[in-house]
Structure 1
Amino acid sequence: MPALTNLFSMHFLHTHKNLIPVVLLAALSIYTILTVLLVPVYQDGEAYQRAFTPAHYGAFAAVLLNLLAYFFFRQFFKPMLLLTLGLTLFSIINFLPDNVRFNFGFGDVGVGFSILGLGLVLLYYLLNKPVAHAFINQRITATPTPEQAARRRRQRIDQFKHNFARKSDESLQLMLQEQKVLPDALSAARELLQERQASTEISKK
């Protein structure tokens, strides 16, 4: 019987694994509500009542929308969850009583990330590791087929030809002699010269 219970639990967790972050966020929301309502904040020895922020209300609404999407509109659940994780990561919504984040500064520009949001993104990645790896391999690091590589090279050459269309023959020839540009740019210059030469010969006839 315990083995059957464990098997059922594992199957349930595997089937509903993407609900785990939402359940965690719901628990944090309840904790935050109780903390804000019942636990004062002390400053200079005086107790002050906490208050909910717009980021809190956004977080509570996000939990509700994620639960509704999961149980009634499943096709919208994953986009809704990813949006929630993104908003949490950038501290636009907050599931904790206080906003716990770390900031990176680049001169006058600063970027802040929520520690909770970072943890949730990592949790979601671990729960969906095979799918995430497949997405990365297919969309980001996939090796193009020879046909795809040739098509992309053709597109780059055509773009260079468009950019070089107003250059004189002398400029194109100098470009070929100096060999200081990308190979696709050299191919574009060479093709332009050949096309112009062919056009000149036809016009002479």
Structure 2
Amino acid sequence: MNLLRLHKNLLPLLALAALCLYTILVTLFSKVYYEGAYFTRTFDFRHYLAFAAVALNLVVYFCARPWFKFTLIGMLLPGLLDLLSFTPDRISLGFGVTDAFRLSIQPLSLLFIAAYYFLNRTSSRRFLRAYVLPAPTQQRATHYQEQVTQFKATLGRKPDDSLRLMLHDEKLVAAAREAAKQLLHERENTKSSISGKTEN
């Protein structure tokens, strides 16, 4: 179980590698029947890019894992835009008025993006909050500070041990945990200043 948890990000990549292997076998050893005749399948540039991307991600995962998330994003985003093809036949959903202005979305890459998001929910949300979602406005920041002040007034009589427990209680809202943190910090500063005066 620990091994699966440790290599959870490898499992979808192995599934994608198996799909690429299936694509290679189907393309090499099967033909397409069209209008009464059989035609040999061929690879296009999207296939070659997909195979190279999967191979690169496997190498990076085992040899340079800190870079894996970057190469993974570099594979899944072009795949989502239908620039890579992992399957024998091209499967995409097109949106647009004309062929010249048509956006193609690949459902398979979207599925793998969802899988990786599910496997890394905490870090994904942290990344989205840091780099994708808009920064909080001044009004939100002011409202948050008001909440912290209210919680400090409410929690002011609680002992230090209770406040320390609150710091790690994920069920509490962020403003309550911040209030507990500030109260502990203020009490420590007060104790330090009193100790300094006593020594003098």
Give me the TM-score of the superposition, normalised by structure 2: 0.63
Unaligned stretches of 5+ in structure 1?
A: 1-9, 150-205
Match of 1:127 in 2: 119
> In the alignment, is residue 54 of structure 1 matched against residue 49 of structure 2?
no
Match of 2:106 in 1: 114
Match of 1:29 in 2: 20
Amino acid at match of 1:129: R
- Which segments of structure 1 move beyond 4 Å, counting only runs of 4 or more? none
Aligned-residue CA RMSD (Å): 2.1
Deviation (angstroms), 1:144 = 5.8
Matched residues in 2 for 1:126 and 1:93: separation?
22
Match of 1:81 in 2: 72
Amino acid at match of 2:125: H
> In the alignment, is residue 40 of structure 1 matched against residue 50 of structure 2?
no
Q: State the aligned residue count.
A: 139
Report Cα offsets for 1:15-43 as digits up to 9, x if no partner: 11111221011000110011001110011
Give me the TM-score of the superposition, normalised by structure 1: 0.62
Deviates more, 1:38-47 or 1:103-112: 103-112
Unaligned stretches of 5+ in structure 2?
A: 143-200
Matched residues in 2 for 1:18 and 1:42: separation?
38
Deviation (angstroms), 1:136 = 2.7
Matched residues in 1 for 2:20 and 2:49: separation?
11
Match of 2:81 in 1: 90
Report Cα offsets for 1:55-82 as digits up to 9, x if no partner: 1111111111111101111222110011
Matched residues in 2 for 1:142 and 1:13: separation?
35
Matched residues in 1 for 2:97 and 2:38: separation?
37
Matched residues in 1 for 2:4 and 2:135: separation?
31
